[in-house]
Amino acid sequence: MPFPSSTAERGYFDQRFNARIINVAPGAQELAQRAGEVLSTVLGSCVAACLRDPVSGIGGMNHFLLPGEDTTSLNPTMDDMRFGTAAMEFLINALLKHGAIRSRLEAKVFGGAVMIGGSSETSVGTKNAAFAMRFLAREGIPVAAEDLGGDRPRRVNYEPATGRAWINWLAPQRVAGVSAAETNYRRSLARWDQAASLEVF
């Protein structure tokens, strides 16, 4: 996913951070390389991996909903970024395309909460978190920081140019809303996958 042109403005300016906030949607990724650009997302059971090259300051954030083992596509597309494997591979490749050096990449990983009614052993959040850490270990990308698990959603703000990250736990009354939004999104993906599998003659 390319960087914007030097004249394009993304997101909105937030005086609290003295920075431009760029939201990262579920199943998507965003890149940034300028100081004052902060990538932001809200995570329940989803996971966001934040990768950067600390020398160049190039970095990005993804937001995936399901662990990578749930996809078997040999040629993943952007639609597959809801799965961990595709989300990680697309983010790494995008960073390398824009000048990052793979051997210098470092990661910060967030999310993977056990939401309402979930069990820490079987929840999607636990599986997402375990997948992310396993993927990074396998690829030899060091994890500089992590904030995984818990039972509440969190907002993550990440500034790739400096590597700084801020975590804000959402109020308990927002747990049900985030959980419902994630459930509805997964159901919509299931319906989309079912429709996409139909052949039209």
- Mark whether 46 is an active-site residue: yes
Q: How far apart are CA 142 and CA 101, in angstroms?
A: 14
Closest by Cα among 27, 31, 177 to 94: 31
Q: How far apart are CA 36 and CA 47, in angstroms?
A: 23
Catalytic member of 32, 39, 43, 46: 46
Helix (H) or strand (E) holding 139: helix 124-139
The helix, strand and coil proportions of the chain, stated in percent and rounded to the nearest 5, come to 35, 30, 40
Instruction: For strands 154-159 and 106-111, give the pairing.
Output: unpaired
Residue positions annotated with a catalytic role: 46
